[in-house]
Amino acid sequence: MRKIYLEDTPLREAQEQLVKRVRFSPEVEVIPTPQALGRVTAQPIYANVSMPNYHASAMDGIAVKAEKTYGADEQHPVRLKRGEDYVVVDTGDPIPDGYDAVIMIENIHQIDEETVEILEPAAPWQHIRPIGEDVVVGEVIVPDRYKLRPVDLGALLAGGNVTVPVLRKPRVAIIPTGTELIPPAEHVTEGEIIEFNGTVFAAYLQEWGAEPVYCGIVPDDYGLIKEAVQAAVRNADIVLVNAGSSAGREDFTVHVLEELGEVLTHGVATRPGKPVVVGIVEGKPVIGLPGYPVSAYLNLEWFARLLVHHYYGLTEPQRQRIKATVGRRIVSVMGAEDFIRVTIGYIDGQYIANPLTRSAGVTMSMVRADGLLRIPPGHLGYEQGEIAEVELYRPLEQIHNTIVATGSHDLSMDVLHSLVRKANPRRFLVSSHVGSMGGILAIQKGEAHIAGVHLFDEATGSYNLPFVEKYLRNRDIVLVQLVYRQQGWIVKQGNPLRIGTVRDLARPGITYINRQRGAGTRLLFDYLLKQEGIDREQIYGYSREAVSHLSVAAAVAGGTADVGLGIYSAATAMGLDFIPVAEERYDLLMSGAFYRSSEGQELLECIRSPEFARQVEALGGYSCRDAGRIVYAPRSSSRA
């Protein structure tokens, strides 16, 4: 097993070295101006004609000879004859030869068909747009190396530039490699992975003004990858090889580049994104991108986006940045540049950034991220409450319109999201799953608008309220009932292991999958164990934690666990069986400010709608009786 190690080259250094080594000589193509949106000019563009190319009336009225109007005033009106002293003109009409001013229609008294009277003289050239008022022939309309916007196309045409010389778009070859990859397909069998990174690369490259050239999937074979790179280098300006960029047994990219050209960098000091290969083959840059989606997309931006802009000679546009309060501690390792995907909540006038998973394999974390928080190499991270700069992945308006939900996960929240958007499509609802206790803490710290909670209190035998009274006493918060739901054992179809009560879980050979600490479902399980006097040690798998009902069901479906505690709909979504254990109340906790806001009232209307009950109960295992009931509110908040 051959093993080579990755470097820890600072990102900036790797970028500068690459740019220094690559010289592009873009070809020029002359294209029709109406098709040139977003293209980059190859030279300064001068006006060929003036706009207007004749003296034009700037008003509706009459064209006159100014000197014939001199002396006109209230006492001495001047009369003008049509065809001799004046001509009727509309805005934009050419001024006939011999005329040199326009009088607005409002200032004319019609005497008869042929005669008008005026009470004021006209100054020469008044209300006339002279030749070239807009564009003068010979004038520079746009400079070279300039990205054309809609209005620039208008000015080019106005200046008589029907075609425009632009730089050919850089061709960027995308070579997906991996024996397990298949093209997008409806059915995927075990061991197969749909090749989707290439689609993401192509879409980004289009946005940046490049022309993606998607090469077919190449299996993990040194010779085939080498051939693919050689072919791509001949046809493209930039080559991307996806996966196989690290230092493992089947990571061929670095060796291919060493054989065909030169490796500049293998490994950058970033987390994620470290295993990248940057090389040059026949003068063309070749980037070996990591297979994990998040690492791949970040490196794409760091290197491919840089190269596309370098090709055009343009500055890379920066994403909008905001200052946000860090909602949860973020730890960084000295020496590496960390890139943390974060959600951003706009809560009580503050931006709150919370880290998402740092796993580079989770594409969904890029979908969910509102922004990216960069931690420089010499920095140890952020404590909760510190202010950090975040680069936005979404428009700020969308963040302002987003209801931030946290706490326990429940499928009824997805239904609610749909209904909220149907009622007001500008509104978004974003959920993160931190368990019921996590939800209470998030509301306490002002990190979320709403939190789903289902916490059973052994002492009182009731749900949620005792916890709210304990942790949020005297706080301006409101507790709203959402749904009753069944919790039960999620087991394989047909329940082959005959699981009935919690006692069955302690049987030898039974593997359990638990929920994370702070989850209401875990508290329920602990309560069930305690009732039966069963020790945690007796449950094989007690320490393996899943973060959602669906993850629990996925573990059972995947065969790594025999049973887990969860909700009915998660079991059916995975084609599993469900053995009811208990009905629990799932409530929404929210700040008083949110409850009283228009967003809050919109949300409440959705919760109380018959449509919500219909859709949630159709999932199975739910009852929406009392949905929207105010369980708890300080006197001042009560409105229901």
255 binds a copy of itself (CB under 8 A): no
Query: Among 107, 230, 363, 495, which residue sits at the site for a copy of itself (rule: CB under 8 A)?
Result: 363
Q: Is the dihedral of CA 408, 409, 414, 417 positive or negative?
A: positive
Query: Among 408, 548, 609, 637, which residue sits at the site for a copy of itself (rule: CB under 8 A)?
Result: 548
Query: Among 428, 510, 597, 630, which residue sits at the site for a copy of itself (rule: CB under 8 A)?
Result: 428
197 binds a copy of itself (CB under 8 A): yes
Q: Which candidate, 158, 198, 143, places its Cα nearest to that of 176?
A: 198
Report yes or no: 429 and 417 within 8 Å, Cβ to Cβ: yes
- Calpha distance 9→25 (Å, rounded): 28
Q: Which candidate, 621, 620, 612, places its Cα nearest to that of 588?
A: 612
262-301 positions binding a copy of itself, by CB under 8 A: 291, 293, 297
69-98 positions binding a copy of itself, by CB under 8 A: 88, 90-94
Using CB under 8 A, which of the segments 15-23, 132-140, 434-442, 466-474 binds a copy of itself? 132-140
Query: Among 336, 555, 604, 613, which residue sits at the site for a copy of itself (rule: CB under 8 A)?
Result: 555
Q: Which string of x and - marks every residue 134-163 that binds a copy of itself (by CB under 8 A)?
A: xxxxxxxxxxxx---xxxxxxx-xx-x-x-
DSSP state of 537: G
5-44 positions binding a copy of itself, by CB under 8 A: 32-34, 37, 44
- HSE (side-chain half, CA atoms, 13 Å) at 513: 23
Strand partners, 21: none
382-421 positions binding a copy of itself, by CB under 8 A: 393, 395-398, 401, 414, 417-418, 421
557 binds a copy of itself (CB under 8 A): yes
561-580 positions binding a copy of itself, by CB under 8 A: 570, 573-574
Q: Which candidate, 346, 349, 627, 589, places its Cα nearest to that of 471?
A: 589
Query: Among 11, 58, 63, 490, which residue sits at the site for a copy of itself (rule: CB under 8 A)?
Result: 58
131 binds a copy of itself (CB under 8 A): yes
Residues in binding contact with a copy of itself, number by CB under 8 A: 129
Count of CB atoms situated within 10 Å of the CB of 364: 12
339 binds a copy of itself (CB under 8 A): no
Here the tokens at position 547 are 């973060």
222 binds a copy of itself (CB under 8 A): no
Give 123 or 331: the residue with its C-beta nearer to a copy of itself: 123
Q: How far is the CB of 32 from a copy of itself (least distance, A)?
A: 8
For residue 183, cis peptide bond before it (omega within 30 degrees of 0): no
Q: Are strands 630-632 and 477-491 parallel, antiparallel or unpaired?
A: antiparallel
DSSP characters over 10-40:
-HHHHHHHHHHH------EEEEEGGG-TT-B
Q: Which string of x and - marks every residue 315-334 that binds a copy of itself (by CB under 8 A)?
A: xxxx-x--------------
Q: How far is the CB of 609 from a copy of itself (least distance, A)?
A: 17
Give 172 or 550: the residue with its C-beta nearer to a copy of itself: 550
DSSP characters over 149-172:
PHHHHHHHHHTT-SEEEEEPPPEE
486-525 positions binding a copy of itself, by CB under 8 A: none
55 binds a copy of itself (CB under 8 A): yes
Using CB under 8 A, which of the segments 188-196, 261-269, 377-385, 492-500 binds a copy of itself? 188-196
Give 14 or 403: the residue with its C-beta nearer to a copy of itself: 403
224 binds a copy of itself (CB under 8 A): no
Here the tokens at position 475 are 């706080």
202 binds a copy of itself (CB under 8 A): yes
Residue 625 vs residues 352, 586, 609, 628: alpha-carbon distances, Å: 34, 12, 12, 9
Q: Which helix (H) or strand (E) holds 615?
A: helix 610-618
Q: Which amino acid is at 344?
A: I
Residue 281 vs residues 212, 226, 414, 422, 628: alpha-carbon distances, Å: 19, 11, 49, 52, 64
